[in-house]
Homo-oligomer: A and B are copies of this chain.
Amino acid sequence: MAARDVVILGVGLHRFGRFPEKRLEDMAREAALIALKDAGVEYKDIEAGFCGHVLPGTAVGLRVFSELGLTGIPVTNVELACASSSRGVMLAADAIAGGIYDLALVIGAEKMERGLLGGGLEASYQSLMGLFIMPGAYALMAHRHMHEYGTKPEHFAKVSEKSHRNGALNPYAQYQQPLSLEEIMNSRMIAEPITLYQCSPTTDGASAVVVASAEKARQYTGKPVYLRAWAGATPIYQRDEPELSEGPTDIIARKCYEKTGAGPEDIDVAQVHDAFTPGEILGIEHLGLVPEGEGGPFVWEGGTEITGKMPVNTDGGLLSRGHPLGATGGAMITELTRQLRGEAGPRQVQGAKTALLHNAGLGGVNVMILQS
C-alpha cells in the first residue's frame, strides 16, 4: 500500500472557449500560474511535471513548462485522450505517495480543431464500423439504456439543460447562458437520440493542478484537499464493454470506495464524464450514485442539480464548461477542489466534504475520491 497521504494543493484554469489568437503555451502558463498562486508554491520548488495533451505534437510538455522556467525538472507527456490530465495527476500521486517527489505540477492543455476527432492508427473492425465515432458509440449505449429501462430522450436532454444552467454560473465555462429543454431537443440531430446541444463542444483551454505530499503541504498557504483514492482501468473482455473503450467504472469505483471507507451514499458532489448527455446518466449508475436503470428519472426529477440529492457537474461539465481533451481532467479536479474548500460561489454545494471524479477517455477511465 502507498505510504504517504497525497493532497491537491492548488488548482487553476485558463477560461475554456475558442481562442484562435492565443498560443497553447500562453493558455497553459496562465492556468499554471493561477494554480501555483493558489497553492502558495513557487515554481522553482516544483520537482516534477506532467503534461496532459492529446492532439499531435511532440515535446508539448517541455514547451509548456519552459514558459514557466527551465529549472531542469523531469516533464512527462501523458496521453489518455479525454482523460489525459486526470491520469497525469494519478501518476504524480503514485510517485508522491511513494516518496519519489513532494511537489508536482500537472498541466493539461489543448487547442482543438473543428470536426470529428480521429481515432488514430490503422483501421480496425471497430473503426471501420464507425464504433470509434464518439456520438455514435454514445447513441448505441443510450438506445440500449432506453430499451432496458425505459429511459426517454428528454431525460438525456435534461442533462444538457442542467449543465448549461450550471455553466452560466461559471466564469471559466465556454458557454455561460442557459438553454431551454426545447432548444436542446430541437437542435440538429447528430446520432439519435443525441442532438447537437447534447454534445460537448470544440474547445481550447488549459488546466493546472499542484499535487503534493500531505506532509510537504503543511509548509504552504494553500488549502489542501486530500486525494484519498485513485484508480484507472481499461475495458474487460466478456463484460460487454470493449466497444466502450473506457472500462469497468463500477469496479474501480468500488475499489476507491473500499480504500476510503466511503460509499456512494457519502459522495456530496461529483464530476461525471458528460462528453455526450448519455455519459452522465450511465456514469452515475456505474458509479453507484443511483441504482442501475434509474438514472434517467433521477436526472429528470432534479437529483443531479446543485441543490439536488446528488449534485453532478456543478461547473457545467464537458457540455457547457467545455472539453479541451487534455485539459478536461484537470478542470474536473479544479471544480471538485473548489467545492470541497467551499469556494465555488453560486455553484457551491452546501457542506460538501467528499467528492467523486469520473473521467473517461478512449483508452481508459479514471476514478478518484477527494475529501476536505
Interface residues of A in 57-97 (CB under 8 A from B): 57-63, 65-66, 69-81, 87, 90-91, 94-95, 97
CB distance from A276 to the nearest CB of B (A): 17
Contacts of A70 in B (CB 8 A): 234-237, 242
Most-contacted residue by chain B among A79, A231, A361, A366 (CB, 10 A): A79
- At the interface with chain B, which of A117-125, A177-185, A214-222, A266-274? A117-125
Whether a CB of chain B sits under 8 angstroms from the CB of A264 is no
Interface residues of A in 338-372 (CB under 8 A from B): 361-364, 366
Whether a CB of chain B sits under 8 angstroms from the CB of A174 is no
The answer to whether residues A61 and B363 also contact, given A74-B231, A76-B80, A79-B79 and a CB cut-off of 8 A, is: yes
Whether a CB of chain B sits under 8 angstroms from the CB of A196 is no
How many chain A residues touch the partner (CB < 8 A)? Answer: 63
Whether a CB of chain B sits under 8 angstroms from the CB of A287 is no
CB distance from A252 to the nearest CB of B (A): 8
Whether B363 contacts A62 by the Cβ 8 Å rule is yes
Q: How long is the Cα–Cα vector from A2 to B366 in the complex, in angstroms?
A: 25
CB-based nearest B residue for A76: B87
Whether B362 contacts A122 by the Cβ 8 Å rule is no
Q: Which residue in B58, B65, B98, B245 is a CB contact (below 8 Å) of A99?
A: B98
CB distance from A239 to the nearest CB of B (A): 8
Whether B73 contacts A233 by the Cβ 8 Å rule is yes
20 contacts between A and B (CB under 8 A): A3-B98, A24-B122, A57-B120, A58-B79, A58-B81, A59-B81, A60-B363, A62-B235, A62-B245, A63-B124, A71-B234, A74-B87, A74-B232, A75-B364, A76-B87, A76-B364, A77-B78, A94-B94, A94-B98, A97-B99
